[in-house]
Amino acid sequence: MSKDEENKTVNQTQDDEAMRQRMEERKAARAEQKKAQQAKKEKRDVAKKKLGLVVTIALGVIVILSLLFLMAQSLGNVTFSRISDGIVQTFSNMKPGPGYPLSVGKNNVLRTEAYGDNLVVLKNDRVVLLNSTAKELMAYQHTFSSPRLSVSSGRILLGDSKTGRYAVLSGSGMLYEGDLENDIYCCAVANNGNYAFSTKSTKSASLVSFYAGKDNKKLFDFKCSDEYIIGISFSSNGKRAALIGVGTKDAADYSKLYIISLTDEKILSEFTYDGMRLHTVFYSDPHTVVTAFKNGYSIVKNEKTRKDKLLGGGSISHFAVDSGGSCALAVNGYSDEAGSTVCAFDSKGNERFSVDLTCKVNCFDFRDGCIAAAGSDGKIHLISSANEKSNKTAVPKTEAESIIVIKKTVYSLGNGTIERIKF
What pLDDT is recorded for position 181?
A: 84
Q: Taking the mean position of all CA atoms in its chain, how far away is CA 209?
A: 24
CATH number of the domain enclosing 353: 2.130.10.10
Q: Of 16, 50, 75, at which residue does a domain stop?
A: 75
3-state secondary structure of 29: helix
Residue 202 lies in a domain: no
What pLDDT is recorded for position 5?
A: 60
What pLDDT is recorded for position 360?
A: 93
Residue 58 lies in a domain: yes
Domain region containing 393? 314-423
Q: Of 22, 42, 75, at which residue does a domain stop?
A: 75
User: Is 401:419 a contact under the CB 8 Å cutoff?
Assistant: no
What pLDDT is recorded for position 287?
A: 87
Residue 17 lies in a domain: yes
Residue 224 lies in a domain: no
Between CA 243 and CA 222 the distance in angstroms is: 10
What pLDDT is recorded for position 77?
A: 46
What pLDDT is recorded for position 69?
A: 54
Specify burial of residue 128 (Cβ count, 10 A radius: 0-12, 13-18, 19+): middle
Residue 168 lies in a domain: no
What pLDDT is recorded for position 54?
A: 62
User: Is 230:241 a contact under the CB 8 Å cutoff?
Assistant: no
What pLDDT is recorded for position 260?
A: 96
Number of compact structural domains in the chain: 2
Between CA 107 and CA 98 the distance in angstroms is: 21
DSSP label of 390: G
Residue 186 lies in a domain: no
Ordered mean pLDDT values, 10 residues apiece, the chain (423 residues): 60 66 73 75 70 66 60 49 54 76 95 95 97 96 96 94 96 94 94 96 93 94 95 94 95 96 95 94 88 90 91 85 84 81 83 89 91 95 77 93 94 97 91
